Amino acid sequence: MHVPDGFINAPTSAATGLVAAGAIAVSLRGARRELDERTAPLAGLVAAFIFAVQMLNFPVAAGTSGHLLGGALAAILVGPYTGVLCVSVVLLMQGILFADGGLTALGVNITDMAIVTTVVTYAVFRVLVRVLPRARRSVTIASFTAALLSVPAAACAFTLIYAVGGTTDVSIGKVATAMIGVHVLIGLGEAAITALTVGAVIAVRPDLVHGARGLTRRLKLRVNGELVDAPAAAPAPAAAPVAARSHRGLWITGLVTSLVLAGFVSFYASSSPDGLEKVAHDQGIDKTEKQHAASDSPLAGYGVKDIADARLSGGLAGVIGVGATVAAGSGVFWAVRRRRTADTAPAGTAAPTTGTGV
Partner 1 sequence: MGAGHAHRLYRHGHSPVHALPPHTKLAAAFAFVVVVVSTPREAIWAYPLYAALLGAVAYVARVPAGFLLRRLLIEVPFVAFAVLMPFVAEGERVQVLGLSLSVNGLWGAWNVLAKGTLGVAASVLLAATTELRALLLGLQRLKLPPLLVQIASFMIRYGDVITDEMRRMRIARASRGFEARGVRHWGVLAKSAGALFIRSYERGERVHLAMVSRGYAGSLPVIDEVTASRAQWSYALALPLSALAVCLLGWIL
Partner 2 sequence: MDPVTAPVPASAPTSGTAPGTAPEAAPGPAASLEVSGLAFAYPDGHQALFGVDFRIERGERVALLGPNGAGKTTLVLHLNGILTAGAGTVRVAGLPVDKRNMAEIRRRVGIVFQDPDDQLFMPTVREDVAFGPAAAGLRGAELEERVDRALERVGMREFKDRPPHHLSFGQRRRVAVATVLAMEPEILVLDEPSSNLDPASRRELADILRSLDVTVLMVTHDLPYALELCPRSLVLSEGVIAADGPTAELLADEELMRAHRLELPFGFDPRSVAVQSPRSAQSAQFV
Residue 41 interacts with partner 2 (CB under 8 A): yes or no: yes
Residue 97 interacts with partner 2 (CB under 8 A): yes or no: no
Ranges of beta strands (E only) in the chain are 57-59, 65-67
Which residues does residue 58 pair with via DSSP β-bridges, in sequence order? 66
- Report the chain's terminal Cα–Cα distance, integer Å: 30
Interaction partner, residue 309 (partner 2, partner 1, none; CB < 5-8 Å by kind): none
User: How near is the Cβ of 203 to partner 2 at its closest, in Å?
Assistant: 17
Residue 230 interacts with partner 1 (CB under 8 A): yes or no: no
C-alpha span between 235 and 38 (Å, rounded): 35
Interaction partner, residue 197 (partner 2, partner 1, none; CB < 5-8 Å by kind): partner 1
Q: Which of 33, 220, 245, 311 binds partner 2 (CB under 8 A)?
A: 220
Q: Which of residues 286-315 bind partner 1 (CB under 8 A)?
A: 289-290, 292-293, 296-297, 299-300, 302-303
Residue 283 interacts with partner 2 (CB under 8 A): yes or no: no
Residue 227 interacts with partner 2 (CB under 8 A): yes or no: no
Q: Which of 224, 227, 238, 284 binds partner 2 (CB under 8 A)?
A: 224
User: How near is the Cβ of 327 to partner 1 at its closest, in Å?
Assistant: 10
Residue 200 interacts with partner 1 (CB under 8 A): yes or no: yes
Residue 38 interacts with partner 2 (CB under 8 A): yes or no: no
The answer to whether 133 and 247 are in contact (CB under 8 A) is yes
Q: Tell the burial category of 210 from Cβ atoms under 10 Å away from its Cβ (0-12, 13-18, 19+).
A: buried
The answer to whether 34 and 78 are in contact (CB under 8 A) is yes
Number of continuous H segments (helices) and E segments (strands) in the chain:
15, 2
- Nearer Cβ to partner 1 (68/336): 68
Q: Which of 102, 187, 314, 315 binds partner 1 (CB under 8 A)?
A: 102
- Nearer Cβ to partner 2 (6/41): 41
Reference 291, options 276, 270, 306; nearest CA is 306
C-alpha span between 74 and 46 (Å, rounded): 8
User: How near is the Cβ of 237 to partner 1 at its closest, in Å?
Assistant: 31
Interaction partner, residue 239 (partner 2, partner 1, none; CB < 5-8 Å by kind): none
Q: Which of residues 106-165 bind partner 1 (CB under 8 A)?
A: none
Which residues does residue 289 pair with via DSSP β-bridges, in sequence order? none
CA 192 to chain centre: 9
Residue 168 interacts with partner 1 (CB under 8 A): yes or no: yes
Q: Give whole-number Cα distances, 197 to 57, 74, 215, 309, in Å.
A: 14, 11, 17, 36
Residue 225 interacts with partner 2 (CB under 8 A): yes or no: no
Q: Give whole-number Cα distances, 105 to 14, 16, 28, 100, 222, in Å.
A: 9, 9, 21, 10, 49
User: How near is the Cβ of 223 to partner 2 at its closest, in Å?
Assistant: 10
Binding region for partner 1 (CB under 8 A) out of 7-15, 179-187, 263-271, 334-342: 7-15
- Nearer Cβ to partner 2 (213/220): 220
C-alpha span between 70 and 3 (Å, rounded): 17
Reference 109, options 82, 80, 71; nearest CA is 71
Interaction partner, residue 121 (partner 2, partner 1, none; CB < 5-8 Å by kind): none
C-alpha span between 285 and 287 (Å, rounded): 6
Interaction partner, residue 103 (partner 1, partner 2, none; CB < 5-8 Å by kind): partner 1
Q: Which residues bind partner 2 (CB under 8 A)?
A: 41, 220, 224
